[in-house]
Structure 1
Amino acid sequence: MTTTISNANLTVQIKHMGAELFSLKNNQNTEYIWEGNPAFWGKHSPILFPIVGTLKNNTYKYNQKQFQLSRHGFAREMEFELVEKSEESATFSLISTLETKKVYPFDFELQICYSLDENKLNIDYKVINKSETTLPFAIGAHPAFALPGNFEEYSLEFQQAETLKYYLLEEGLISNNSNEIQLDNKKLGLNYQWFEKDALVFKTLESKSITILKNEKSILKVNFNDFPNLGIWTVQNAPFLCIEPWFGYSDTLNEYDDFLKKEGIQLLRKNETFKSNYSVEIL
């Protein structure tokens, strides 16, 4: 099933499976979301929950027990319920089940709200702890933006003039190796060489927005003021780029004895609610 929301400027389509955004068009019918061609990558904009990235051996420990979770968690592979709908907004909900508790032993509700405001799509995340204990989780966005034509004609403009420190991945895990990127007037020219070893992972970033440009013309801006971490990723020779705001990231090469102490994990107390927001602004 799919749901559509629209206003005078934008039309958005969301799959109920994973509450996944799969189309964002302007009123000239220009598509901004990657088509999901499985020859490169068969997703569009999955929601990452209750982990972001990869666990070491796909395993974590909680209360002296071991649990298995595959890369990016299970939310992206589950059917969400549409719980509220208007012309310009839609809210989806995923509630823990007996099956999810076999791999993630907590009671929770995850809500995703998509809403339009002129030329901007807002995506609001809400995590509600319904457990009797602290809820450990990570959550993140993974939108893939279509970049037709010559990839190297595109560039990223960061909000701040900063030196970018990114971590390299080894078999999906955060390695101890990091590199730095010196921006040129806040800009980073795109080249597939940046992604030869998987994503660029930023544990910290001064900028809270990134604009995609083609031949110096601004196309869209991703605003992620709430999010502390970020990933940027594509596949070699693929005509898309993912700009991924995160709370949390893959395991480091070190093993964690306790999931509650995992680097980047969020801890939500009983009966508390976590909220965060990012947006995609068409320019």
Structure 2
Amino acid sequence: MYIRCWGARGSIPVSGPEYIKYGGDTACLEIRTGNSDSVVIVDAGSGVRPLSNSLIREERREYTFLFTHAHWDHILGFPFFKPLYLRDSVIDLYGCPTTQGNMQTLLARTMSAPYFPVPFDELRADIRYGEFCRDAMMLDGMRVECIPLSHPNMGVGFRFSEGDTSFVFLTDNELGHVHRGGRDFSEYVAFCAGADLLLHDAEYLPEEYPQRKGWGHSSFDQVVELALAADVGTLGLFHHNQDRVDADVDDIVARCRALLVERGSDMKCFGVSQTWTTRL
């Protein structure tokens, strides 16, 4: 399993020299399966635009999209995913319906006038829609499981398993508050148990969280507690606040590592950047 991040920022894209290390694009992950290098894309934040350019250069035309939820920072790049406008593109698109509609309806709404000049029904790709809210499915030999996120307007997180390795992605997940449809801490521990890699929303500092409780995001110390309880191999901090420059994210990573040492753990902790890659 190959994983590349194309965007790790939260809420809104940012740019400037102070954002070079971790990048300014919002949520987008690319996963390649070990069997036949199938392309799985998780979320379509602004990072999906450079990913689409890369896939076109590679002449890849078949993809699976998995959406965690439909907040702006996770879908705003979708209309700029260039394969959508190519007739030979084949896209399997999965999302979990909410009270606001299914993913097809929500994406179409963002491309309606006056928000976007090209309507959704003019996309040329062969797009096949599916719902994925529970249980598990297989994608080219990779098992994908999901769990509801604790986040306003709901959403889902994913666990990807191939052979003896597993990766969990829980963005926009508030561990200190259970939102409608969300799960409690113990259920997230069970979902993450023994994962080789956990990427988790860690937007807030512990001293910031009391003023932002209920906004749908976790503080890094809450995420450390989850990682320790689930005994994961490596922890990646995700969904960096739009106002945190590189030095601020470096400080969070340093505090995370110090907390792990204080707890007697040798677990690795790092801040996810939009150029980060790994192979499990």
What TM-score do you get using the length of structure 2 for normalisation?
0.26
Give 1 or 2: higher strand fraction.
Answer: 1
Give 1 or 2: higher helix fraction.
Answer: 2
What TM-score do you get using the length of structure 1 for normalisation?
0.26
